[in-house]
Structure 1
């Protein structure tokens, strides 16, 4: 990727931090964006902090969708960014009001020391509490200044009264001069003295309240704190688990100059009650997706959460992974539970993505998906034990023609289900962009029957067929078909059966293919070279072939 002249100059400028006092004083606001991008790219946290602390615009968006091969921002740079936001609250040069860091998180332990989703969420909570503490210190200082001003004015008034004319002192013309509050020639009454003492005690009590920085009782203090003005709103993706849940709860429920807003919420290993509490603390606007993983929701727990999810009007993605939903074990009241789930899903008017992983709902796909009034664009159903009835419904449903991503991994396909799969691919041929059929038990003969339907998917960009028992002959037919698909950019193929050590069963499962050792005597690179040679012969240099299941990412083609 060629860098522009502005980007090259910006990298040179931020490379020397000792020169920052010189260029920060005169750099125009139009160059702040280029300088900040260069500071992130070159891992210059000091430059990041100085730029963000005096950011000249109301909105700052960092990260978002990164280009293929582009590394995630450095952890130190992200920490400098968040610290600069807090410092910018008292910097008059900063006009920042909205910070958008959605998608900023990287993979823990990746190249360049990125900050993962959990660490970033914890850091955001710390930023909120730091900003709140800074606001409280500023309020206390302002209260001290106000108290000192009040005391000075009171002392000045007392001094003027003491220096004023007294009764019995003769002025010009031989008249008695009296204070403004006294009638000439009349003494100060005892009642007036008592009122003066009471007035002075009342003033002392008010000054004592002002010393708190807020000037009132605890209830009045709490009320004023609740009305604390929000200066910066931070929009981000949250990753919450049992270790960070309490910290996130405190940060979301604490008023202060920095307020957190969530775009995508991912929760792991926390209870239904905790998830409900967390959702009640989030702003209703702006939440687009929720991802629940490894939490024992149960069918009843999911039915309890769905009405609450319907209160988020922009929610378009719901992902449930390993949440202990098993309809087969709930014999009593099973129909009522399914009805509750169906009604709850029907209330999610904007839902476009539904992911259900290992929920064990065989034969119930019609009950769940038919309640959705709007067709889905992304449907992920791995490890769902789909029955022939489920696939037959899906191929004829109103979702089939709008699907852009479909994941049927680890749902075993055979001759009885293949007609439904072919009908489904035919319905989605013009819209489907990403398809995963990994671990579906596709043999050479089954794949041969499916290839014409796969070749008809004109918009398909990525195809995953890992962990299927295919021979080298089957792989050759697959690559030849893929070369004729102009939109296809990635193909994840399985290791051929010839590459495994002897003893593999005739029809191995995906688990057996995953665990069975490859034959060391076989050159694995030979398979890759042979398949890529087929692509070269067809003139397809833009199609990427891989058998690396771990590092495969379909999003790289977008």
Structure 2
């Protein structure tokens, strides 16, 4: 088996039984000697126990998706220190709240996988400007990166400007998904079309200033305010003759 998906896996709320279930589940990884891609979706047993699972991996992973799960700081520390996550090509932490994590953990993980990482998903992580700014130096070292998505987070035009400038040095980056800038919303969280049009125009000017063909996608799926999709088919912002548009 090269690929494994565990989805919506719940265990007993009793502590002793929960620990037993965790041991039973994670011990199975010892048998998966060819595992390359691991996806964990809404798995309740992960919180505080990620290290037990990672220790059972017998080979380096190529893709790791931990989505819509609760993780502690210790979980993220083990994730960044585990030898079997040092060669990741794909990393998806969408739906994992990173707002309360120590600011050095995610940048440390990105620095670790910078030489191999090709796809990075950080959608709906509760990321604010300061959290995104903290990872930009590490992100700019991921020279193999081709896909980057931070949709569903509440970000300002200022940090999106910084992000576009940091990622402009990445030669393989061809698909970029960003949320609707927070300046596009009213104080009540309602999208203001005129403000959004202005933000799009400003983003295009940033792309022009950077001076090479590029396409970015602006989407709010879901909206960071209400959790509902705003655009089913958002239009790209394109400068030059980017063939990926």
RMSD over equivalenced CA pairs, Å: 2.1
| Distance (Å, rounded) in 1 between the aligned partners of 2:88 and 2:233 | 25
* 1:466-501 deviation line (CA, Å, top 9, x unaligned): 121111111111111121222211111111111113
2:225 matches 1:535: no
Alignment of 1:60-79 (within 5 A): none
- Aligned residue in 1 for 2:89: 404
Query: Which protein is richer in helix relative to its size?
Result: 1
- Aligned residue in 2 for 1:363: 48
Match of 2:112 among 404, 412, 427: 427
- Per the TM alignment, residue 411 of structure 1 is displaced from its structure 2 partner at its CA by 1.4
Secondary structure of the structure 1 residue equivalent to 2:15: coil
* 1:484-536 deviation line (CA, Å, top 9, x unaligned): 222211111111111113224xxxxxxxxxxxx3124x242332232122222
- Aligned residue in 2 for 1:417: 102
Match of 2:35 among 351, 355, 358: 351
Q: Identify if the C-alpha distance between structure 1 residues 474 and 403 changes in structure 2 by more than 3 Å, giving closer, same or farther.
A: same
| Distance (Å, rounded) in 2 between the aligned partners of 1:357 and 1:478 | 28
Is residue 11–residue 21 contact of structure 2 (8 Å, CA) maintained in 1? no
2:62 matches 1:377: yes
Alignment of 1:448-527 (within 5 A): 448-504=133-189, 517-520=190-193, 522-527=194-199
Query: What are the ranges of 5 or more consecutive residues in structure 1 without an aligned counterpart?
Result: 1-314, 505-516
Is residue 345–residue 371 contact of structure 1 (8 Å, CA) maintained in 2? yes
- Aligned residue in 2 for 1:547: 218
| Distance (Å, rounded) in 2 between the aligned partners of 1:364 and 1:397 | 13
Alignment of 1:297-312 (within 5 A): none
Secondary structure of the structure 1 residue equivalent to 2:104: helix
| Distance (Å, rounded) in 2 between the aligned partners of 1:356 and 1:415 | 21
| TM norm structure 1 | 0.38
* 1:237-290 deviation line (CA, Å, top 9, x unaligned): xxxxxxxxxxxxxxxxxxxxxxxxxxxxxxxxxxxxxxxxxxxxxxxxxxxxxx
| Distance (Å, rounded) in 2 between the aligned partners of 1:467 and 1:483 | 22
Secondary structure of the structure 2 residue equivalent to 1:453: helix
Q: Identify if the C-alpha distance between structure 1 residues 346 and 474 changes in structure 2 by more than 3 Å, giving closer, same or farther.
A: same
Is residue 483–residue 535 contact of structure 1 (8 Å, CA) maintained in 2? no
| Distance (Å, rounded) in 2 between the aligned partners of 1:340 and 1:377 | 24
2:35 matches 1:319: no
Larger RCO: Structure 1 or Structure 2 (Cα < 8 Å, ≥ 6 residues apart)? 2
Secondary structure of the structure 2 residue equivalent to 1:320: strand
Q: Identify if the C-alpha distance between structure 1 residues 318 and 330 changes in structure 2 by more than 3 Å, giving closer, same or farther.
A: farther
Q: How many residues align?
A: 224
- Aligned residue in 2 for 1:334: 18
